[in-house]
Amino acid sequence: MKSRIAASILVIASLSAPVIALAADADADRSHPKAFVKDSVITTKVKAKLAAEHVQSLGRIHVDTDANGVVWLRGTARTQDAADLAVSLAKGTEGVKDVHSHITIKKDD
């Protein structure tokens, strides 16, 4: 009985080693779900901050986050102040390493 338990533990340990190794390397591979979720969390946090400001023109700003925690802002804002606010909010978000803004000013919709 003891040898059967020991054999089971040995089999489980040998089968789980590759899984543990892959999980540890998840951030290096953007296609891996763990890396994607990490990026999505940052994107969601930035979008929530933009929505909380209730500035109408911030709704036309698209947010994307790369594997390095760099946020990319694209879209339009009605004023430069609104565009600057979006950048400021993104920079102040946990997990954000840098922000690249490609927001254009468009006064008329």
pLDDT tens, position by position, 28-85:
445 555 555 567 899 999 999 988 888 777 778 999 999 899 999 999 999 999 999 9
The token duo for 59 is 């709704």
Indicate whether 2 belongs to any domain: no
Whether 20 is covered by a domain: the verdict is: no
* Residue 52 belongs to domain spanning: 30-105
Going by C-alpha positions, the residue among 108, 65, 100, 64 that lies closest to residue 83 is 100
Query: Is residue 63 situated within a structural domain?
Result: yes
For residue 38, the domain's CATH number is 3.30.1340
Nearest to 36 by CA among 64, 61, 60: 64
State the total domains in the chain. 1
pTM for the whole thing? 0.64
The 3-state secondary structure of 3-55, one letter per residue:
HHHHHHHHHHHHHHHHHHHHHHCHHHCCCCHHHHHHHHHHHHHHHHHHHHCCC
Asked if the structure places residue 6 within a domain, the reply is no
- Please indicate, yes or no, if residue 49 is contained in any of the structural domains: yes
Assigned domain for 5 exists: no
Q: Examine residue 8 and state whether it is found in any structural domain, yes or no.
A: no
Compute the distance between CA of residue 79 and CA of residue 21 in angstroms, rounded to an integer. Answer: 49
Per-residue pLDDT, 55:
76
Residue type for position 92: G
pLDDT tens, position by position, 13-43: 455 444 444 444 444 445 555 555 567 899 9
Instruction: Tell whether 90 is covered by a domain.
Output: yes
- Which tokens is 53 given? 């400001």
